[in-house]
Amino acid sequence: MTPSRCNITPRLMKPELDRFRPQFSSAQVCAVAGIDTDTLKNWVSREKPRVVFLSGAERKKIGGRTTIEYSFARVMQITITAELVRLGLPPRRAALLAGSFTDLEDGPLPGRPDRGRCELFKTGKTLMVALVGNDCAQIVNFRDGMAWSELENSVGFDFLSAVILDLTKIDSRVRAALAKSD
Cα(first)–Cα(last) distance of the chain, in Å? 46
The count of other CB atoms within 10 Å of the CB of residue 79 is 22
Q: Report the pLDDT averaged over residues 129-153.
A: 85
2-16, 82-96, 97-111: lowest mean pLDDT where? Answer: 2-16
Long-range contacts of the stretch 74-77 (C-beta < 8 A, 24+): 74/22, 74/24, 74/29, 74/102, 75/24, 75/28, 75/29, 75/32, 75/33, 75/174, 75/178, 76/101, 76/102, 76/118, 76/170, 76/171, 76/174, 77/52, 77/53, 77/101, 77/102, 77/103, 77/118
Highest mean pLDDT, choosing among 76-85, 98-107, 121-130: 76-85
Q: Are 17 and 43 in contact (CB under 8 A)?
A: no
Q: What pLDDT, on a 0 to 100 scale, did the predictor assign at position 14?
A: 35
Q: What pLDDT, on a 0 to 100 scale, did the predictor assign at position 163?
A: 92
Q: Report the pLDDT averaged over residues 156-177.
A: 88
The domain segmentation of the chain, as residue ranges, is: 18-181
CA–CA dist 72, 53 (Å, integer) = 12
* 109 DSSP 8-state letter: B
Q: What pLDDT, on a 0 to 100 scale, did the predictor assign at position 126?
A: 93
- Is the model's pLDDT at 110 over the cut of 70? no
- Is the model's pLDDT at 13 over the cut of 80? no
Confidence at 19, pLDDT banded by 50, 70, 90: confident
CA 48 to chain centre: 19
**Cβ-based neighbours of 35, under 8 Å, separated by 6 or more:** 29, 78, 82
pLDDT higher for 30 or 46? 30
Q: What pLDDT, on a 0 to 100 scale, did the predictor assign at position 115?
A: 79
Q: What pLDDT, on a 0 to 100 scale, did the predictor assign at position 160?
A: 77
